[in-house]
Amino acid sequence: MKKAPVFLLSAAMMLSLAACGGGEAPAEGSTPPVDSTPQVQESVQPSEEPVQESQQPAQETETTQAEGDGSGETTAQGGNTAAVGDTVTLEGVDLELAVGEFQSGDKLGGDISVSSHSDTNKYFWLGGTVTNVGTETIDTFINDTMVTIVFDDTYHYEGSFLMRDDVGPFAVSEVYFWADVPPAMLEQYKTVKVVFGYNDGFGDYDWEKTDYEKVMEGYDHQYTFTNNG
């Protein structure tokens, strides 16, 4: 009966030691407890691909404009197109040309006599003045030119270029681009332009270059004067 208290005391001490060792790490080889709380994995959306900039340089559009100071006076370049009222410096002839306005009548320029292709037509002309800024006199009769007057970009009339006087250095002369045009056309047209072709120094036309056909493109220079009716 004396051993019973000793046995109970020993058992109590062992239980006490077991309770104190509950916080120690699990022995090697043991399986750690599994957390029953499910892990939620965030959905990662792929980022948008960056927009790649084009490595090719932007194409530049070259535009040729007439030189001028804003006063209506220009030096025609590129397409050699000028509006009525402009002053242009003609290439290859040392001439400044100022054009006025389109007119029509029974006589060219009021008192200038020229041969007419038809008694029923009227004269239609673009008048202007030229100033010789060169050193040589330009003979009024020695100039090989070509003139075409075009109405509404459709109807073409062969014309002529007339310089009233010889033009010495820094002298001024009246000039006319003119054609015989039926009165019915003059009553209905909306737009009109004068296409003017000539060679350097008003030199002779090179017939061989164009297989003996006279065309505007056969001249060294071409100018187009435009105006609305």
3-state SS string over 125-136? EEEEEEEECCCC
Query: What residue type is 52 in one-letter code?
Result: Q
pLDDT in tens, 11-55: 555 544 444 444 454 455 444 455 544 444 444 454 445 445 444
Contact 162, 124 (CB under 8 A): no
What is the reported pLDDT for 115? 64
Q: How far apart are the first and last CA of the chain?
A: 144
What is the reported pLDDT for 208? 93
Strands 172-181 and 155-163: antiparallel
Strands 221-228 and 81-83: parallel
What is the reported pLDDT for 119? 76
Number of H-type helices and E-type strands within the chain: 2, 11
What is the reported pLDDT for 224? 95
Closest CA to 125 of 112, 113, 142, 109: 109
Bridge partners for 82 per DSSP: 225
Instruction: Give Cα separations from 148 to 37, 161, 175, 181 (angstroms).
Output: 96, 10, 15, 12
pLDDT in tens, 134-151: 999 998 887 789 999 999
Residue 9, token pair as written in the block: 């005391």
What is the reported pLDDT for 129? 95
Q: What is the C-alpha to C-alpha distance for residues 23 and 20, in angstroms, rounded to an integer?
A: 7
pLDDT in tens, 175-184: 999 999 999 9
What is the reported pLDDT for 108? 85
Domains in the chain and their CATH numbers? 75-228 (2.60.40.1240)
Would you say residue 97 has pLDDT above 70? yes
- pTM beyond 0.85, yes or no: no
